[in-house]
Amino acid sequence: MFFIPYAFVHTYWRSEPPVLSRDIDLMSDPRVIAGMAFGTGTDADVAASTSLGSLDGLLFSDCGSRGIYPWVLPVGVRNRDRKLPGQQYCPHCLAADERPYLRKRWRLAVASVCLEHQRMLLDRCNGCASPLMPFRSRALHVCWACNTDLREAATEPAHPHAVRFNQMAQDALRSGWGSLGPSTFHYSPVMFSVLRQLGRTIISGPRSQALRTVLSGLSNVSDRPFVFVGGRGEVEFLSADERHRMHAMITALVDDWPHTYLACMSAAGMWHSWALRDMPNVPHALRTVVDAGLRPRTYSPPVEEVVEAARYIARRGNGVSGRQLRRLIGDSIHHREAVARVLAPPLVPALEPAEAVPLSQD
Ligand SMILES: [Zn+2]
Ligand SMILES: [Zn+2]
């Protein structure tokens, strides 16, 4: 018997817990799993393995309770709408399926390439650019909004560096371990946490533009600033093609680990505390590399670097204080001056913009 999704939800879950008003893939509530297993005649373990919660201990660890899932794409659920392009797909895979289905991997921010077809994944309808909402579609391979057949979408070839990143992530998710150069990670979430921090260093924060410029030369991808969807400057809030570019850059950074990493970070003027920025639990493998190879904690940065850090904090919108500066870059004799320079009004009023002068066309 076939159900449309709404009827299935109503029949097997009623409204408790309210599945369609949340990210259903992330729900590992035993009642939801049991309802799904019973309703579809599936073994309970198989049903549980389709949830993204099954990646606890492989991709992330211990974060479900706080509702934060590193490297999982948010779908931006609002009521029963999905506002963010967190459901990726490969049209060629869907076209090859006897009954098209969405792969679990397509919800992950470590995936930007179909390894089978070596093409970039898509994350929106090719007809109307809507994020996918499969529970609203008349079939999984059809856009809910405009009825475009997603199997007919054109794709771009994948960048070789991005393919390597996707393959490395896929291998680690399958085996539960991974390695960067001589560092072996016996628990793959630790490696994913290091990779995520490298991604964060590339896409935002002080000196990230300088780092991108260095990496652009090594990976042959653009060094333009990253554009985020959904307003948060994190790796999970990049579109599929922006993440593809980040994956290519991360691969360049981990090549010959940790030598290329240290060389690029130093060339970009990125120092110790910025490399570990906002990281609550720094993995030992990263801490050792950064401690040994980047400017040490006792280093006292020149005033311009402190001002740059203060500007970075101010841009995040919660004011700027000496305490925040200390947290970001450690002790410095320049904190007071940097805060004053960032908070002080400009000495001369901003000039009116110059009148536009039409340019000659020849
Ligand atoms: Zn494919
Ligand atoms: Zn559409």
Tens of pLDDT along 150-204? Answer: 999 999 999 999 999 999 999 999 999 999 999 999 999 999 999 999 999 999 9
Q: Are residues 78 and 183 in the same domain?
A: no
Tokens 């898509």, residue?
122
Q: Are residues 18 and 98 in the same domain?
A: yes
Give the chain's domain count. 3
Give the ligand with the smallest distance to the CA of 120.
1
Residue range(s) defining the domain that contains residue 324 = 303-343
| Distances from the Cα of 311 to the Cα of 42, 105, 196, 251, 319, angstroms | 55, 38, 24, 29, 10
Percent of the chain with pLDDT over 70: 89
- Amino acid at position 194, single letter: V
Give, for 81, the enclosing helix (H) or strand (E). strand 81-82
| Distances from the Cα of 198 to the Cα of 264, 320, 351, angstroms | 12, 25, 40
75: helix, strand or coil: coil
Give the pair of three-digit tokens for residue 44: 């309970």
Q: Are residues 93 and 195 in the same domain?
A: no
Measure 136 CA to ligand 2 centroid, in angstroms: 12
Give the ligand with the smallest distance to the CA of 133.
2
CB 266: neighbour CB atoms within 10 A?
14
10: helix, strand or coil: helix
Q: Are residues 174 and 270 in the same domain?
A: yes
Query: Does residue 196 lie in a domain region?
Result: yes
User: What are residue 184's DSSP bridge partners?
Assistant: 179
Measure 221 CA to ligand 2 centroid, in angstroms: 29
User: Model confidence over 92-149: pLDDT tens digits?
Assistant: 999 999 999 999 999 999 999 999 999 999 999 999 999 999 888 889 999 999 999 9
Measure 228 CA to ligand 2 centroid, in angstroms: 21
Give the pair of three-digit tokens for residue 56: 């606890």
Q: Are residues 198 and 315 in the same domain?
A: no
Query: Does residue 353 lie in a domain region?
Result: no
Q: Are residues 116 and 19 in the same domain?
A: yes
Give the ligand with the smallest distance to the CA of 129.
2
Measure 127 CA to ligand 2 centroid, in angstroms: 5
User: Model confidence over 1-22: pLDDT tens digits?
Assistant: 566 777 777 777 765 666 777 7
- DSSP assignment letter at 116: T
Give the pair of three-digit tokens for residue 84: 């963010």
Query: Does residue 236 lie in a domain region?
Result: yes
Residue ranges with CB less than 5 Å from ion ligand 2: 125, 127-128, 130, 143, 145-146, 148
Spell out where the chain has E strands.
77-78, 81-82, 113-114, 119-120, 178-180, 183-185
Q: Are residues 270 and 309 in the same domain?
A: no
Q: Are residues 253 and 122 in the same domain?
A: no
Measure 106 CA to ligand 2 centroid, in angstroms: 18
Q: Are residues 194 and 130 in the same domain?
A: no
User: What are residue 56's DSSP bridge partners?
Assistant: 60
Q: Are residues 9 and 147 in the same domain?
A: yes
Quick one: pLDDT at residue 346?
56
Quick one: pLDDT at residue 206?
85
